Amino acid sequence: MQQRHFFILVSIVMISGLSQGLLLPLISIIFEQNGIHSSLSGMHATAMYIGVLVVSPFLERPLRRYGFKRLIMAGGAIVIVSLAIFPISSSLLFWFMLRLFIGIGDHILHFGSQTWITYASPTHRRGRDISLYGLSFGVGFMIGPLLVPLVHIHEALPFIVSSLLSLCGWILLFFLPHMYPETEEAEKVGATRFFQAWKQAWPALLLPFGYGFLEASLHSMFPIYALRNELSVETVAMMLPAFALGGIAFQLPLGTLSDRFSRKTMIMISLAVGALCFAIATWFSSPVQLTTTFFVAGMFVGSLFSLGMAYMADLLPTSLLPVGNILCGMLYSIGSICGPAIGGVVLQKQEELFFFTMSSLLLFLLFAQRPFTKFSKYFSKKQEKNVDAF
């Protein structure tokens, strides 16, 4: 894999993460200043995840027909245009539709780029490459909120700056070669390919669901839990980034270790440590204790999405990688929707079980992992044929 091409892909993914990290707090702040109810603001934020679910089933055929580069460029173009026209109107419905389109465009971009990386990365470096992919998105997502203060200069300025940055990254895509995934084998599998992908790699595919559930639950429901336990808003704002920061700090080391040792072993260790952290958090009340717990949990389960993608690529033949990546995106979105919904019910009925719910989910994912070594070795040999695909 040529490093120049890989750098371009992770750069555009970082800018995509920046735009997502900017939009979530920016629109929430604008809504709050305009007196819009918080529940409506929360429902409005689901537009991006709905966009992912809507477009996911229709991505495989365009990828096979037009190739990785054109698909990524199409997704990037949708995001750029959507960001640029936010200032045209402040209508809730108009902004909901724009967030829906950004979810669609971002998912097209991510689907194309992550499928390309899993397709072209050699087995011995797959964990590292996908971890760098996840790391770049995480860094961008963390930088995004730093642009929010631009709203004090002019409400349209953050949207314009984000759109221009996305345009700069999009231009870099012209320097990528045209590549296409395998088509012949996928056509032989036919309409059952989604079932075949799930059957062969379901333990890996459950990991993006778990990550989406945890991330959305923490960011949406933990502030409510914290305020009910007499923690200030300022304290909560300082505590929440600890989980993301832990994931960023340990993303690359975990991916590299999964290349050196067994991928499944590293996943099981990560799930076990994460489950233990959230179980312990149930008995913690001080900000320092909870922040430390979040950071340690993030170090391990903050890489579930990238580790799940790498493990999925180990288990599937190259012809099913596009389908596998579609399922990863869909399950992440379903987890992101289920997390706040289930967390909200738990807080309503039995708030002391909030962290126990997360711990139980991680234990379920831990027990779901099974020895797929035979499939992994077989399909890894097939995947090595694509080492020089870039």
Q: How far apart are CA 275 and CA 125, in angstroms?
A: 28
CA distances from 337 to 49, 160, 197, 334, 354 (A): 7, 28, 23, 5, 16
Tell which phi-psi region holds residue 35, choosing left (phi > 0), alpha (psi between -120 and 50) or beta.
left
What tens digit of pLDDT does each residue of 98-133 get? 999 999 999 899 888 888 888 877 777 778 888 888
For residues 390 and 388, give the distance between their C-alpha atoms in angstroms, rounded to a whole number: 5
Question: 223-236 pLDDT, tens per residue?
Answer: 777 777 777 766 77
pLDDT in tens, 15-37: 888 888 788 778 877 876 777 77
Q: What is the pLDDT of residue 379?
A: 43
Closest to 137 (Cα-Cα) out of 308, 9, 266, 309: 9
For residue 182, CA distances in Å to 61, 115, 322 come to 11, 12, 9
- pLDDT for the residue 347: 77
Instruction: Give residue 371's pLDDT band: very low, low, confident or very high (50, 70, 90).
Output: low
Q: What is the pLDDT of residue 19?
A: 87
Domains and CATH numbers, the chain: 1-181 (1.20.1250.20), 190-382 (1.20.1250.20)
**What's the confidence (pLDDT) of residue 378?**
44
The residue among 381 and 219 whose pLDDT is bigger is 219
Residue 153 φ then ψ, to 5°: -75, -50
Q: Where are the alpha helices (DSSP H) in 149-232?
A: 157-172, 184-189, 193-228
What pLDDT is stored for residue 188 in this prediction? Answer: 53
Q: What is the pLDDT of residue 119?
A: 81
Q: Quick one: pLDDT at residue 333?
A: 84
pLDDT in the model for residue 208: 92
Instruction: Report the alpha-carbon distance of residue 218 to residue 224 in Å, rounded.
Output: 10
Q: What are the tokens at 140?
A: 């961008």
Q: Which element (helix H / strand E) includes 271?
A: helix 263-281
pLDDT digit string, tens, across residues 58-74 = 888 888 888 889 999 99
State both tokens at 179: 């590549």
Q: Stretch 42-51: mean pLDDT, rounded? A: 80
Question: In Å, how far from its chain's centre is CA 134?
Answer: 8
CB distance 13 to 137 below 8 Å: yes
**295-331 pLDDT per residue, tens:** 999 899 988 888 888 898 888 888 788 888 888 888 9
**pLDDT (average), residues 336-364:** 83
Task: Write the DSSP assignment of 285-324 as a string of letters.
Answer: -SHHHHHHHHHHHHHHHTTHHHHHHHHHHHHS-GGGHHHH
Which band of pLDDT confidence, cut at 50, 70 and 90, is reported for residue 89?
A: confident
How much is the pTM? Answer: 0.77
Closest CA to 225 of 110, 317, 119, 357: 357
Mean pLDDT for all residues in the chain: 82
pLDDT confidence band for 237 (50 / 70 / 90): low
pLDDT digits (tens, 9 = 90+) for 250-305: 888 888 888 888 888 899 999 999 999 999 988 887 888 888 998 999 899 988 88
pLDDT > 90? residue 362: yes
For residues 297 and 246, is the Cβ–Cβ distance under 8 A?
A: yes
Question: Is residue 297 a contact partner of residue 316, using CB atoms and an 8 Å limit?
Answer: no
> Containing H/E element for 140?
helix 126-143
Contacting residues for 250 by C-beta, under 8 A, at least 6 apart:
298, 299, 300, 302, 303
**DSSP letter assigned to residue 178:** P
In this structure, the chain runs to a length of 390
